[in-house]
Chain A
Amino acid sequence: MTGRIWKLLGSMRFAIYLLVITALLSLVSMLVQEFLPQGIARSNLINIFGLNDPFRSWWFRSLLAVLSVSLSVCIIQRGPQMIKQAFERRFITDPALLKSMTGYIRFESADGVEEVRRRFKRLRLSVRTDSSEKLTALTGMSGGLSRIGPLLNHLGMLLLILGGLALSITGSSDTVSGAAGDTLRMPEWDFALRIDDFRIIYHPLSPNQWVEIPGGRRGKVLQIEADSAEVEISSHKEHKHSHWFPLGDLKNDFMAVQSGRSTPYQGNVSSYLTSATMIVDDSMFFEHRIEVNHPLRFHGFRFYQSSFETGGVITEVDTVTLKVQSETHGETTVKLVVDGNEVILPWGDFSLSAGKLFPDFRLDRNMQPHSASGQLVNPAVKVKVRRDCEEIGERWVFTYPFGGMREDELLINMQIVDLNVVKTTPAGYITVLNVRKDSGQWLIWMGFIFATIGLLFAYGMTHRRAWAVVERQPDSRDVVHLVIKNPRGMSLRPM
Chain B
Amino acid sequence: MQQSLDINLFYFTLAAYFVGLLSFSMFAAIQRAMFHRIGAGMMLVGGILHTIAFFIRWWLSGHIPLSNMYEYLSLTGWMSVLMLLIFYFRYNRPIIGSFISPIVFMLMVAAALLPKDINQSLMPALQSIWLNIHVSLAALGAGCFLVSFAVSSVYLIKQFNPHEKIQAVFNKQIITTVICLAGIPFAFVIIASITGLKPPAPSSSIVLGKIVANWGSLFILLGLGFILSIVVLPFILHRSYNERYGSLGGWLFIVITISILLGGLVEGGLIKAGWLELTHNLSRDSHNQTIKSSWLFFEFIGFAYAAGLLLSIIIFPAVTGISRSLNNSTALTLDILDEVSYRSVSLGYPLYTVGALFAGAIWAEQAWGSFWSWDPKEVGALIIWLFYSGYLHARYQRGWKGHRAAILVVAGFLMVLISFFGNYFFGGLHTYT
A interface, CB within 8 angstroms of B: 12-13, 15-16, 19-20, 22-24, 26-31, 33-35, 37, 55, 164, 167, 173, 203, 206-210, 218, 222-223, 234-237, 256-258, 266-272, 291-295, 302, 304-305, 434, 436, 444, 448, 451-452, 455-456, 458-460, 490-493
Contacts and interface: CB of A to CB of B under 8 A. Distances in A.
Residue from B286, B288, B380, B426 whose CB has the most chain A CB atoms within 10 Å: B288
Contact of A293 (B128, B227, B231, B397): B128
A81 to B, nearest CB: 14
B259 interface: no
B376 A30 contact: yes
A2 B49 CA distance: 61
Interface in B148-179: none
Contact of B390 (A20, A26, A236): A20
A23 B286 contact: no
Contacts of B379: 26-27, 29-30, 55
B32 interface: no
A268 B286 contact: no
30 contacts: A12-B396, A13-B397, A15-B393, A23-B386, A29-B379, A30-B374, A30-B379, A30-B380, A30-B383, A34-B294, A34-B376, A34-B426, A55-B374, A164-B371, A210-B287, A218-B286, A235-B288, A267-B123, A270-B121, A271-B124, A292-B124, A292-B125, A292-B127, A292-B367, A293-B124, A293-B128, A304-B367, A458-B350, A492-B336, A492-B343
A52 to B, nearest CB: 13
Interface string B292-304: 0011000000000
B132 interface: no
A164 B382 CA distance: 14
B387 interface: yes
A177 to B, nearest CB: 15
A206 B415 contact: no
Given A16-B393, A34-B376, A206-B121, A436 B369 contact: yes
A414 B386 CA distance: 51
Contacts of A448: 358, 361-362
A31 B428 CA distance: 13
A22 B376 contact: no
Contacts of A270: 121-122, 124, 127
Given A208-B119, A236-B288, A459-B346, A492 B340 contact: yes
A272 B427 contact: no
B74 interface: no
A234 B427 CA distance: 25
B394 interface: yes
Contacts of A460: 350
Given A24-B231, A208-B118, A491 B124 contact: no
A210 B287 CA distance: 8
A15 B120 CA distance: 45
Nearest to A200: B124
Contacts of B128: 293
B37 interface: no
Given A23-B387, A206-B120, A456 B343 contact: no
A452 B358 CA distance: 8
Contact of A26 (B1, B124, B386, B426): B386
B347 interface: yes
Contacts of B372: 164
Interface of B: 1, 90-91, 93, 117-125, 127-128, 130, 200, 227, 231, 234, 285-288, 294-295, 335-336, 339-340, 343, 346-347, 349-350, 353-354, 358, 361-363, 366-372, 374, 376, 379-380, 382-383, 386-387, 389-390, 393-394, 396-397, 400, 408, 415, 426-427
Contacts of B90: 491
A460 B346 CA distance: 9
Contacts of B383: 23, 26-27, 30
A256 B287 contact: yes
A27 to B, nearest CB: 5
A167 B368 CA distance: 15
A30 B384 CA distance: 13
B11 to A, nearest CB: 19
A39 B165 CA distance: 50
A203 to B, nearest CB: 4
Given A13-B400, A218-B287, A304-B367, 20 more contacts: A12-B397, A16-B397, A20-B386, A20-B408, A23-B386, A27-B383, A55-B374, A207-B1, A207-B117, A210-B287, A223-B1, A267-B121, A269-B124, A271-B124, A271-B127, A293-B128, A451-B358, A491-B91, A492-B336, A492-B343
Contacts of B382: 23, 26
A268 B432 CA distance: 13
A102 to B, nearest CB: 14
Nearest to B386: A23
A458 B383 CA distance: 21
Given A292-B124, A492-B91, A444 B371 contact: yes
B360 to A, nearest CB: 11
A20 B382 CA distance: 11
Contacts of B366: 293-295
B369 A173 contact: yes
B350 A459 contact: yes
Given A19-B393, A492-B339, A272 B124 contact: yes
Nearest to B4: A207
Nearest to A202: B121
A206 B62 CA distance: 12
B281 to A, nearest CB: 11
Contacts of B335: 493
A231 to B, nearest CB: 12
Nearest to A291: B124
A28 B336 CA distance: 35
B31 to A, nearest CB: 17
A207 B374 CA distance: 35
Residue from B93, B234, B383 whose CB has the most chain A CB atoms within 10 Å: B383
A12 B339 contact: no
Nearest to B336: A492
A460 B354 CA distance: 13
A120 to B, nearest CB: 24
Contacts of B363: 293
Nearest first, the 7 A-B pairs at minimum CB distance are A203-B121, A23-B386, A19-B390, A292-B124, A455-B350, A234-B288, A55-B374
A37 B294 CA distance: 12
B349 A222 contact: no
A493 B333 CA distance: 12
A16 to B, nearest CB: 5
B410 to A, nearest CB: 13
Given A33-B374, A223-B1, A256-B286, A16 B390 contact: yes
Given A23-B387, A31-B227, A436-B369, A237 B294 contact: no
Contact of A28 (B231, B386, B397): B231
A459 B397 CA distance: 18
Contacts of A492: 91, 93, 336, 339-340, 343
Residue from B231, B350, B372, B400 whose CB has the most chain A CB atoms within 10 Å: B350
A31 B90 CA distance: 43
Contacts of B387: 19-20, 23
